[in-house]
A and B are shown apart, each in its own frame.
Chain A
Amino acid sequence: MTDQIAHPEPSRLANIWSGFAHAMKSNPLTAFAMALFLLFVIAAVLGETIAPYDPLASTGATLQPPSWAHPFGTDQLGRDVLSRTIVAARVDFGIAIAAVSISFLLGLGLGAAAGYYGGWTDRIVGRMVDTIMAFPLFVLAMGVVAALGNTVWNIVYATAIINLPFYIRFARAEVNSRRDAGFVEAARLSGNGSVRILAVHLVPNILPPMMVQVSLNLGWAILNAAGLSFIGLGVRPPTPEWGIMVSEGANYIFSGEWWIFFFPGMALVLAVFCFNLLGDGLRDIIDPKGRT
C-alpha cells in the first residue's frame, strides 16, 4: 500500500494533475486559495528569515501607524506587526495541522472499526461521539485545556478532541455503506483478514472524501485555537500568535491604534477563508456532483 502511494503509476499521477489543473482553471477562486495557501506555507516555513524585523525585539518606535518602514505598523512595545504576523503563521498552522492530524488518524481508525465490525464496537464508539457532541464544543475545549493545563500541546489535544466526532461519523458511514460491497466480499473470500480488508480495501476508498473534510476542518481548527489563545489559554505572550495579537491589540482600539489588532485578525480570516475555499475546490475535483 505504501509502495502505491510512494510510486503511483504515471498515468494516474497525470490524471490527478489534469484534474487539478482543470479545477484551477474552471474555478479561479480555488486557484486564488491555492496561491494564498502557498503564501502562508512560505511564511510558516521561513518565518524569521523573511520577516523584516525581529518579531520579539522592539524597534524603538512604539505605536507607529502603518508606513513604508513598517507596513503593518508597530505595537505598544515597538515590535513590527508585519514580522510578528508572518512568524505567527507557524504557530497557528502548526496547532491546526497537528490537531487535525490527530483527529483524522484517530477518527479514521475508530470510525472505520465501528462501521466495519458494528455491534458493541459501534455502540461504544457511538456513545463516545454522542458524549462529545453533547457539549457546546468550544466550551468543552476550554474545559479540556483547564483540566490538562495551560500549554500549547493541550490546545492541540483539545482541538483534536472536539474535531474527533466529525471524522468518526464520516468514516463510520462511509465504511458501513461499503462493507458488504462486491469487492469487499471478493477480498474476504480470497482469505483476507478483517484488518487487512479495512486497511487495504476500505480505507483507501474513503480517503478522498475525507481529505475534503480535513481541508474544511483545518480552517475551523485555526479559529478554535485562536479563540482559545484570545481568552488567554495556551500560547503565551510574547510568542507571536494571531489570537493573542488580536487580544493585545484590542486594548488600543479605544485610542485609535487599529493596526495592532487588525492585521493579525485579517491573517486569521484569510487563513480560514483559504482552507474553506480549498475544501470546496477539492470537493469539486473529487465529487463533482456534491456541490451545493
Chain B
Amino acid sequence: MIKLIAKRFLSALPSLIGVIIVTFVISHSLPGDPAAYFAGPSATAESIAETKARLGLDQPLPVQFVAYVGDLMQGDLGRSFNSGQPVLTDLIRRLPASFELTLYALVFAIVVAVPLGLWAAVNPGSWIDHLCRGTVTAAAAFPSFFTALVLIFVFYYKLGWAPSPIGRLAIYFPLPPTITGFFTIDALIAGDFATARAALGQLILPAISLGLFALAPLARMTRASMIGVLGSDFITTAKAGGLPRRTILWTYGFRNALLPVVNILGMIFSFLLGANVLIEQVFGWPGIGSYAVEAVLTSDYAAIQGFVVMMAILYILLNLGVDILNMIVDPRVRYDD
C-alpha cells in the first residue's frame, strides 16, 4: 500500500514540473518590463539596468529558470507590487477565506446532488428522473456570477433576508481569534454564536451560487453510477436472496455507487476553485480569487505567477489525495503503469 501511494506520488511529479515550466513561461511573457516597473516611474536607463541586474533579468533564460526553481523550493514566490508584501504571505493570509467558501459550496452541492441523483436512479424514467435531468441541465447553464447577482437581487434587495453581500463579516462584528481561519468555526470555538451566525449568513449566498455550478456533474455521476450498480449481478443475487430493499439500496448499492462519485470530486474541486474567482469578485470576498483578479488587471506579475503556481500545486495535491483515498476505499484500484 505504501509502495503504491509512493508510486502515485512520483507520477504527479511530471505534472508539477510541467506546471512550473508553464508558469515560468507565462510570467516571462507578461507585457511590460518588470525592471522598469520595479525601478519606479522616475527611473533612468541606468537605474532600470541596475534593477534588471538586481532581479537577475539580464541573465539568459535557462539561468533565470534555475534561479526561479531555486526560489520556489524555498517558498519564495516574489513580492507583490500592489501590496508590497511577499506573495506567499498574501496568499496564505487570504487562503482560509477561499477554502471556507469552497468547502461550504462543496457541501451544499453534495447534499443536494447526491440524493437527487440517487432518487432519479432508483426511479429511472419517472417524473423524478425527468425533474432531476431538467434541474441539472438548467443549473449547468447558469454562469455562477449571474446566479450570484440574481440571488443578491432577490434575497438581499427584494426580500431583505440576506445580509449586505460584501465581505466575510459585517463590520460591527468582532473578528474571531484565528485558529483555523474559518470564521464560522473560529467563532464557535470562541463561543461567540452571534458572530458565527453572521459569518454563516454572509456565506450562504456565495456558497449556493458556487455550489449550483457543481450540481450538474455530481448529480449526473451519482445517477449514472447508481444505475450501473443496480443493474449488476450482485444486486440481482441480493434480490434473489430476498434481502430487504433498504439493505440492497444502501449497503449494496449506495456504497458501491459512491466510488466513482468520490473519484470526480477532484475535478469538481478544480471547477469550484476556478469559479471561485468570479464569485469572490461579485461578493467582495477577500480570498485568493479576488487577489488574482486584481493582480491580473494591474499586471502584478509576481502575484499572478504565485497564484497560478499555488493553485496548480494545491490542485495536484488534491487529486493525489483523492486517488489515495480511492486506493484505500477500493482495493481494486491499482496503478500499475
Chain A interface residues toward B at CB < 8 A: 127-128, 130-131, 133-140, 142-149, 219, 223, 226-227, 230-233, 246-247, 249-250, 253-254, 256, 258, 261-262, 265, 268-270, 272-273, 276-277, 280, 292
Contacts and interface: CB of A to CB of B under 8 A. Distances in A.
Interface residues of B, number: 53
Summarize A's interface: helix, strand, loop or mixed: helix
B316 to A, nearest CB: 6
7 contacts: A127-B18, A134-B18, A134-B19, A136-B271, A142-B292, A253-B149, A256-B157
B308 A230 contact: no
Nearest to A149: B31
Contact of B277 (A135, A138, A268, A272): A138
Contacts of B23: 143
B274 A137 contact: yes
B170 to A, nearest CB: 16
B142 interface: yes
A148 B28 CA distance: 10
Interface string B106-135: 000000000000000000000000000000
Contacts of B64: none
B141 A219 contact: yes
Q: Which 7 A-B residue pairings sit nearest by Cβ, starting from the closest?
A: A138-B274, A131-B18, A273-B141, A265-B146, A272-B141, A147-B26, A136-B273
Contacts of B308: 135, 139-140, 143
Given A134-B316, A254-B157, A139 B273 contact: yes
A137 B325 CA distance: 23
Contact of B315 (A128, A135, A226, A268): A135
Contacts of A145: 296
Given A138-B277, A144-B26, A227-B143, A277 B137 contact: yes
Contacts of B16: 134
Nearest to B304: A146
A268 B146 contact: yes
B145 A130 contact: no
A136 B270 contact: yes
A252 to B, nearest CB: 10
Contacts of A276: 137, 140-141
Contact of B274 (A133, A136, A261): A136
B26 A227 contact: no
A256 to B, nearest CB: 6
